[in-house]
C-alpha cells in the first residue's frame, strides 16, 4: 500500500484533489490503492471539557493536551467564562491565559490544566481559544455549582430532596448501624439489600419554605421490592421535662390500606451496639376510612396498630402541611405526648388544639428521623420539605 503524506498548507489543494482521484481508483478491492493521510499541524485532544457539579467554593480540576509540528510562532491559549482558570502547571500559576513557545510544542505534547471554582449557583459556561499561525481552535467549558442550602441556626435540619433519582443513599447493615449513627450526618438506608430510595416530582404549598424546591420522597410501596427505611441522625433532645421537638413536612397520599393503616414519617431512637437498629418512637400514620376518605393520625409507640386518628375529613391526592410535635412530659419512666397538626395552609402560630394526639409509655431519647415505604401496605404517598426545629415559629 502506498501512503502519501502532506503537512504543508501549500499542498492542501493538491492533496484534496488526489483524495478524490484516489477514491475513484479505490472502487475495486485492490489493497495497493494509495491512501492520503492529512496530519494536522496543531491539534487539541478534545472539543469540550465538563467539570460536572461542584459544591459552592470547591475547586474541580481537568486537563487536555495540544500537539503541533512545524510551527514558527508561539501558541496563545486564552479562556473566557466566570470561574474558570488555566495554567501549564497542575498546582500553580492559574490565570486567564498561557503562552506556549513554538519550540516547546513542535513535535511534542503539551498538557494544559484547567480549574473551575465558583460560589454562584447554577451552570457556568466558557471556552478556551487556542490561537496559532494556522488559525484558532475553540474548546467549550461547562460546570455547575450545586444549590447552596443554608439551614437557619434555629432549625436542626432541612431536607428538600434536591437530589437525582434513584437517590444514592449509604446502605448500612444492621450490625453496623451503631457506628453509622455515631459517624454519619446524612441519611442511611438500614436494609441490607442496598435499595436506593426513589424520588418523584416535588410537592408545592403556598408560602411553605422550600415549596417546589428539588424533588420529593417516593413512598409508593409498589415502587420497591421490599421495605425501605432511610434514617438520619438528629441532635438528641428528649431527656428532660419540657423538651419539645417539631417535624414539619408536606404530605400527599393517593392510596392507603384500611385497618391499621401505614406509617410515613417517624421520629426514632437509635439502639446500641448490642442491639443495633432503630425504634419508632413517634410516627405519622395514614389509612383509608373505607368510604373513599383519608384518615391521618399519630402514634407514640413502637408499633403502628393503635394510632390515634384525627376526626377531620381529608382527601386523597391533596397536599397537606403536617406538623408532628414530640413533648417530654416528665423524667425517665413517665409518659410523653405526641401531637399532630394537619394544615392546608402555612400558619406562623401553633394552633391551640392539635388534630390528634397520643401518649407514650415512657420518656425516650429522640435522635433520628425516618422515612419508610412498605410494598406490603398497598400505599402510595409522597413526602417533601422536611423541617425540624425546637419551636413552631422556627419551622417557618
Would you state the pLDDT for residue 195? 78
Cell of 136: 484558532
Q: Closest Cα partner for 235 from 170, 157, 161?
A: 157
- Which residues lie closer than 8 Å to 42 by C-beta, 6 or more apart? 66, 67, 68, 71, 75, 105, 130, 132, 134, 137
| CA–CA dist 11, 194 (Å, integer) | 62
| CA–CA dist 296, 383 (Å, integer) | 14
C-beta of residue 329 within 8 angstroms of C-beta of residue 251: no
Domains by residue range for the chain, with CATH: 3-38 (no CATH), 42-145 (2.60.40.10), 155-395 (2.60.120)
DSSP state, residue 16: H
Q: What is the pTM of this model?
A: 0.62
Expressed in angstroms, the distance from the first to the final Cα of the chain is 78
Report, in this order, helix, strand and coil percent for the chain, each rounded to 5. 10, 45, 45
Would you state the pLDDT for residue 175? 63
| CA–CA dist 243, 329 (Å, integer) | 8
Q: Closest Cα partner for 77 from 39, 49, 58, 119?
A: 49
Cell of 331: 423524667
Burial class (CB in 10 A: 0-12, 13-18, 19+), 144: middle
Would you state the pLDDT for residue 26? 39
**Dihedral (CA of 266, 269, 273, 274) sign:** negative
**pLDDT tens for each residue of the chain, 396 residues long:** 433 333 333 333 333 333 333 333 334 444 554 544 345 589 999 999 999 888 888 899 999 999 999 999 999 999 999 999 999 999 999 999 999 999 999 989 999 999 999 988 889 999 999 999 999 999 999 999 987 665 556 788 889 999 889 988 877 766 666 666 666 667 888 765 667 899 999 999 999 998 989 999 999 988 888 888 888 877 766 567 788 889 999 999 999 988 878 889 988 877 665 666 677 788 999 999 988 899 999 998 766 568 899 998 899 999 999 999 998 887 666 788 999 999 999 999 999 999 999 988 777 778 888 898 888 877 899 999 999 998 999 998
Which residue has 417539631 as its cell numbers? 246
C-beta of residue 363 within 8 angstroms of C-beta of residue 380: no
The secondary element (H helix, E strand) that includes residue 102 is helix 102-105
Would you state the pLDDT for residue 191? 64
| CA–CA dist 12, 250 (Å, integer) | 67
The secondary element (H helix, E strand) that includes residue 15 is helix 12-25
Would you state the pLDDT for residue 7? 37
How many CA within 13 A on the CB side of residue 289? 15
How far is CA 308 from each of CA 251, 258, 266, 329, 354, rounded to the nearest angstrom?
Answer: 18, 14, 15, 19, 12
Beta bridge partners of 90: none
- φ/ψ (deg, to 5) at 188: -130, 150
Would you state the pLDDT for residue 179? 67
Beta bridge partners of 387: 158, 248
Amino acid at each position: 500500500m502506498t501512503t502519501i503524506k502532506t503537512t504543508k498548507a501549500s499542498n492542501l489543494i493538491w492533496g484534496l484533489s488526489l483524495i478524490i482521484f484516489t477514491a475513484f481508483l479505490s472502487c475495486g478491492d485492490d489493497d495497493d490503492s494509495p491512501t492520503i493521510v492529512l496530519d494536522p499541524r496543531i491539534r487539541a485532544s478534545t472539543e469540550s471539557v465538563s467539570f460536572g457539579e461542584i459544591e459552592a467554593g470547591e475547586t474541580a480540576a481537568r486537563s487536555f493536551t495540544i500537539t503541533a509540528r512545524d510551527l514558527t510562532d508561539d501558541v496563545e491559549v486564552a479562556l473566557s467564562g466566570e470561574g474558570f482558570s488555566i495554567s501549564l502547571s497542575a498546582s500553580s500559576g492559574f490565570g486567564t491565559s498561557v503562552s506556549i513557545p513554538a519550540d516547546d510544542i513542535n513535535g511534542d505534547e503539551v498538557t494544559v490544566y484547567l480549574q473551575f471554582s465558583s460560589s454562584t449557583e447554577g451552570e457556568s459556561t466558557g471556552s478556551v481559544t487556542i490561537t496559532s499561525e494556522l488559525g484558532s481552535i475553540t474548546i467549550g467549558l461547562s460546570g455547575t455549582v450545586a444549590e447552596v442550602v443554608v439551614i437557619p441556626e434555629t432549625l436542626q435540619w432541612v431536607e428538600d430532596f434536591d437530589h437525582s433519582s434513584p437517590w444514592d443513599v449509604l446502605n448500612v447493615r444492621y450490625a453496623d448501624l451503631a457506628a453509622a449513627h455515631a459517624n454519619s450526618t446524612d441519611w442511611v438506608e438500614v436494609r441490607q439489600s442496598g435499595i436506593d430510595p426513589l424520588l418523584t416530582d416535588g410537592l408545592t404549598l403556598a408560602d411553605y419554605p422550600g415549596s417546589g424546591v428539588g424533588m420529593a420522597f417516593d413512598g409508593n410501596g409498589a415502587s420497591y421490592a421490599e421495605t425501605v427505611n432511610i434514617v438520619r441522625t438528629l441532635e438528641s433532645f428528649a431527656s428532660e421535662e419540657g423538651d419539645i421537638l417539631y417535624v414539619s413536612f408536606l404530605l400527599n397520599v393517593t392510596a392507603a390500606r384500611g385497618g391499621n393503616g401505614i406509617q410515613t414519617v417517624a421520629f426514632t431512637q437509635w439502639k446500641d451496639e448490642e442491639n443495633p437498629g432503630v425504634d419508632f418512637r413517634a410516627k405519622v400514620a395514614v389509612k383509608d376510612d373505607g368510604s373513599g376518605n383519608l384518615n391521618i393520625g399519630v402514634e407514640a409507640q413502637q408499633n403502628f396498630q393503635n394510632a390515634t386518628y384525627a376526626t377531620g375529613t381529608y382527601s386523597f391526592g391533596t397536599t397537606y402541611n403536617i406538623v408532628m410535635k414530640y413533648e417530654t412530659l416528665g423524667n425517665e419512666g413517665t409518659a410523653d405526648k405526641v401531637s399532630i397538626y394537619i394544615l392546608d395552609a402555612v400558619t406562623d402560630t401553633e394552633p391551640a388544639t392539635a388534630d390528634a394526639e397520643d401518649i407514650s409509655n415512657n420518656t425516650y431519647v429522640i435522635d433520628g428521623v425516618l422515612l419508610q415505604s412498605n410494598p406490603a401496605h398497598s400505599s402510595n404517598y409522597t413526602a417533601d420539605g422536611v423541617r425540624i426545629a425546637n419551636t413552631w415559629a422556627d419551622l417557618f
